Structure 1
């Protein structure tokens, strides 16, 4: 009799154990399913955010306006936001990238120059134009522009759709006096490469790269 009861207890224990394992498997599957669903929802949300971010990206029009309609003259770079409607940019920053691959251009300059200070080479802008600042580092107004010869990257500014901002520019100069103007212009090239970073409240920054050809005469628009 004791043996029978012992066997019954073993069977009940086994069945109970099987039931516990089964419940655990069910729970594990439910957790896995919930996790998979959550990950899928996160991916969909990320895709939707990227789509919205792309659709709201600023549309820029860039104009290069030389002062006397000739290459090598002082000029203005006019940035206009053309859309999308209702977009208010809290900050716009513009950098000028080197027209040519920097290492190759620097090697050409070293060959052209009789003596070349590496520090001067490091701060050289390998392109046809660069931005202008005054002696105190302030952005120049249109009226101040012709009287200044100090150059720097453009400061940040805010813009709304339909608004424009003009930046003073002037031709780059050869980093060494032994390099002729013609030789430097060949190194500098005729393309202004811009990197524009714009931000608006509640959105990740937008980064755009634009290329603007410096015309031999007249303005250029992209």
Structure 2
């Protein structure tokens, strides 16, 4: 194994891992390695020098790649990491927005279902428990308020949010044992509050 071959292998590897770098940084790195090869082969000539030079190159691969990553970080790798983090977060936000958007009609449908189930149970109960007569109409009224607040909130977000909350929260808390009522009530109210916040933001010149 001659010195020229070992030196050519080291420099070929250097050209590979510095590809794509800024011209000045790449030229400086290649010049540094070429000088290092020359000095190594001068101090340790012959087969021993060539073999140890190739061994140094092999053992230095992790350090070379680490150096390449550090050089690319400001432009390439940090941007890639930001994209990797941002895309799932954006997807979660979109899913959360979609969930909030359908929460009011789902809650209204749930309250109507509760009223129907209570009404059906009341027909079979003798005598009718007093709370049957209270909860069923309350559930229908709550469903109507949720729908009204949801629809009206497009024009007047604050008033719509108040109407929706008045229908959603009291019955939702009363039906806490159902497990479903409280999350739906909170989500529906949250959707109404989002409308209020969005409506309160000042419009930019482009949106005016």
Quick check: which has more Rg, 1 or 2? 2
Give the structure with the higher percent helix. Answer: 2
TM, length-normalised to structure 2: 0.31
Q: Which has the higher contact order (CA 8 A, sep 6+)?
A: 1
TM, length-normalised to structure 1: 0.29
Give the structure with the higher percent strand. Answer: 1
